[in-house]
Structure 1
Amino acid sequence: MDSDEDDVSASPSLVETTQTGQPGPRHVLVVDDSRAQRHMLSMQLRRWGYQVTECESGEAGLDVCARVDVDIIISDWMMPGLSGLDFCRRFRDLARENYGYFVLLTSKSETAEIADGLEAGADDFLTKPVASNELRARLRAGERMLAMQAELLAKNRVIASTLSELQKLYDSLDRDLIEARKLQQTLIRDRVRDYGWSRASLLLRNSGRVGGDLVGSFRVDEDRVAVYSIDVSGHGVASAMMTARLAGFLTGSSPEQNLAFQKGPSGGHVLLPPEAVAERFNRLMLDEIQAEQYFTMAFAVVDRVVGQVSLVQAGHPHPLILRRDGSVERLGAGGLPIGLIPEARYDRLDTRLAPGDRLLLVSDGFTECPLPDGQDFGEDGLIDSLRRSAHLSGADLLESLVWDLTHRSGGDIFPDDVSGIILDLSEQ
């Protein structure tokens, strides 16, 4: 072996060790059945500042690698018992966190045999007799690879730690969203409300933990019932918080807080026309709440005495009436969403509503649900489904509509919140 008089302080192992922040020199394992060969290599390696362990067989070297964290292995190819090639294969099978740079000593130069070594997991080759300057060059290459691997491991640890912290935050947020979902569901605690001469049935299925849809009803007096369907723009927590706030402005238990009422001359609360209710909400959104959100709404008041429904459509899907004879009527002309344009005006629509008829308000989670053919379920699909389920009423009818939507869309996970309310008028 050629001699080399380089000073230990300039050795590649110590330079790399300093850069990677690892304590102590690199650990090199020399495996060769020739004692003289091992001794010559070890002398050079120790002189260059490496920690060296010697083994006379592949089996002994494998045992050392299983117990000790070895950085570089220099192994003879031809050895009795476990050959250097098999030693390399079994070394690669060990469960090690750090990479080990494996150099095979060989007199083989055939392309096929070199390919076998690479296939077994060898990183480099040295031809016997080993030249000192070539050995130093191979070690420097190994040092560079080990340094890059150590850097990657350090970055992976940082990423794993960050992901762990993010998972904790996600789990905490998910628990909060689950509780928020429970609270949001209480906004429509009574899924069916019986008013005697009519019955309101509600449906709310969020696409996520929480949603931006809201449906509800309240009694105005013994002869009138108000129903509404709201869809706040966007998804998630912000939309859910807005629906919770809007629900407070449409409560039937506190007329003084309900934007649909105003104080009359006698001091009592008087119901506003539907178009005035929409205008009030529009001013509220733009002048007081001043959020980036807006919402669509259908708001209707049913009067059993005059047999009439008065409603306003503010950018919401068209309200539908399922007549007693099974025919379906589409109501409204579209209208502007609420919270977009100051001083927006809304038109009221009045139409007849007789005993046995049903009034349906739904969100665009129904009408804009995508189908496998690239089309939307649409209002035509909703009307078709409504006609086929005309023999049902209340909650059963709403569930039938959802079933049709699930069947046609190919799954029960919808991209948007699906909500609706149906008011059945008693036939008596």
Structure 2
Amino acid sequence: MPHCHTSGSSSQASTLQAILETAVDGIVVITPQGTIQAVNKAISTIFGYSREWLLGQPVSVLMPEPYRSTHQSFIQRYLQTGEGHILGVGGREVPGRTSDGSIIPLELGVSEITSGDDHLFAAILRDITERKASQQALMESYLELENKQKLLDKDLEAAANIQLSLLPSNFSPLPGLDVGWVFDPSLEIGGDIFNLVPLQTGHLGMYILDVSGHGVPAALVAVSAAQAMYRHTLVRSESWPGREGPPTPPATVLEQLDAEFPLERFDTYFTMSYVVMDLESATLHYSNAGHPAPLLIRNSGEVVSLETEGTLIGLGGLRPFTTEQDTLHPGDVLVLYTDGIYEQRNPAGTPYGRERMVTVLRQNRNSSAQNMAAALHESLRTFAKTDAFEDDVSLLCVKSLPTAAHEDN
């Protein structure tokens, strides 16, 4: 090694010296007294000292405190007891002190060289400043992403609360009606939404819609569609004074929504069922826009599917919407739902299916509306063996209870 106390000039020694001299890592050889006996070129590059100055200096000049003051005692303890903590252990991270007093991170490996009673110690040092800087930059990027994720999670939570506010959580049941529902989005927010809306002249509006897709984009369209139900007289609410006459027919509402949410504008579509109930006669007027037909679970156990003509919202009136009617008798339950229920699969890939859904609803028709909804939800979870459903799961149950008016009729 250059500037090393050696004797002889064999070809083998010259080759070894050339290899050590060109090594990228710094190499320093010290005596048991801690004196530097040899260094290679990389040591000068790392620490900024000339090799001529380093030879004969204590190796502690390359160390910051407190290592500078205690290093020699470590060597002496090893020579006396044979106990060493770093000998033969590579990759140990230690600080180094350069000629200008800067502290740099190093990776250290130390080995012992013995020849008879002579002891030398060879240290291989790698400057890991760039690696540490990269790790620091990576950590800062991670923390930045973590903070952004926290903000995003906070925004999603706020969006979820907004979406929940559009569900019938604050709905005050009307006399003679019992309401229960389940809303279980596949993500934090979903593309399903439903609600009950008191209308003028003793009517109640009930709707459910399912936007294609999941997550934020679907939820934004769902919320926009829910808001549209209150605009441009799509739904005539009791909170709007001065408006008289019957509610807008369900088919007309779907036509207006179809015009307001064209596929080419939103790049998505949604299905929907809308039912208007005359609270005095219990007559149901209903229309569907490509949505799974609502079900009437009769008190007797009969199941009626409320089918109508009509296509998806967003296709520009490709197929006209129609309105049909039926009656919600005492003890009957009107069920509005989304396809996320019957399309959910179990681990074997078998779908839950409409038949299983109808069976559970029929079996629980004598329960309260909320218990009926909860029973179906629990049945679905048990079948799927998971709480993380593939699609948004929404269910609205409206049950007609016996009243004085019904009994008179």
Q: Which amino acid aligns with 1:227?
A: M
Contact 1:313–1:333 (Cα < 8 Å) also in 2: yes
Contact 1:248–1:258 (Cα < 8 Å) also in 2: no
**Equivalences for residues 329-340 of structure 1 within 5 A:** 329-332=304-307, 335-340=310-315
Q: Select 1:167's aligned residue among 135, 146, 159.
A: 146
Q: Select 1:345's aligned residue among 307, 313, 320.
A: 320
Alpha-carbon separation, structure 2, partners of 1:49 and 1:382: 88
2:109 is aligned to 102
Alpha-carbon RMSD: 4.3
CA deviation profile, 1:379-419 (whole Å, cap 9, x unmatched): 22211221222221221211121111222222333333322
**Equivalences for residues 11-410 of structure 1 within 5 A:** 30-33=29-32, 40-41=37-38, 48=51, 54=58, 67-68=66-67, 80-81=79-80, 83=82, 87-88=86-87, 98-102=105-109, 104-106=111-113, 146=126, 149-188=128-167, 190-221=169-200, 223-251=202-230, 257-260=232-235, 268-286=244-262, 290-303=265-278, 308-332=283-307, 335-410=310-385
Contact 1:298–1:314 (Cα < 8 Å) also in 2: yes
Relative distance call for 1:202 and 1:86 in structure 2 (3 A) is closer
Alpha-carbon separation, structure 1, partners of 2:65 and 2:309: 75
Contact 2:287–2:308 (Cα < 8 Å) also in 1: no
Relative distance call for 1:100 and 1:404 in structure 2 (3 A) is same
Using the aligned pairs only, state the percent identity. Answer: 21
Structure 1, 327-336 or 84-93: larger mean CA deviation: 84-93
1:8 is aligned to none
Displacement after TM superposition at 1:129 (Å): 11
**Number of matched residues?**
360
1:73 is aligned to none
Alpha-carbon separation, structure 2, partners of 1:182 and 1:363: 21
Q: Which amino acid aligns with 1:33?
A: P
Structure 1, 350-359 or 92-101: larger mean CA deviation: 92-101
Alpha-carbon separation, structure 1, partners of 2:376 and 2:360: 6
Relative distance call for 1:13 and 1:2 in structure 2 (3 A) is closer
2:389 is aligned to 414
TM-score by length of 1: 0.69
Alpha-carbon separation, structure 2, partners of 1:65 and 1:327: 87
Unaligned runs of at least 5 residues, structure 2: 10-19, 44-48, 69-74, 96-103, 404-409
Displacement after TM superposition at 1:170 (Å): 1.4
CA deviation profile, 1:238-262 (whole Å, cap 9, x unmatched): 33332332222224xxxx6441459
Relative distance call for 1:13 and 1:151 in structure 2 (3 A) is farther
Which secondary structure state, in structure 2, belongs to the residue aligned with residue 281 of structure 1?
Answer: helix
Q: Which amino acid aligns with 2:247?
A: L
Displacement after TM superposition at 1:292 (Å): 1.9
Alpha-carbon separation, structure 2, partners of 1:43 and 1:326: 93
Alpha-carbon separation, structure 2, partners of 1:296 and 1:308: 23
Alpha-carbon separation, structure 2, partners of 1:282 and 1:208: 26
TM-score by length of 2: 0.71
1:115 is aligned to none
Structure 1, 293-302 or 89-98: larger mean CA deviation: 89-98
Contact 1:322–1:328 (Cα < 8 Å) also in 2: yes
Displacement after TM superposition at 1:307 (Å): 5.0
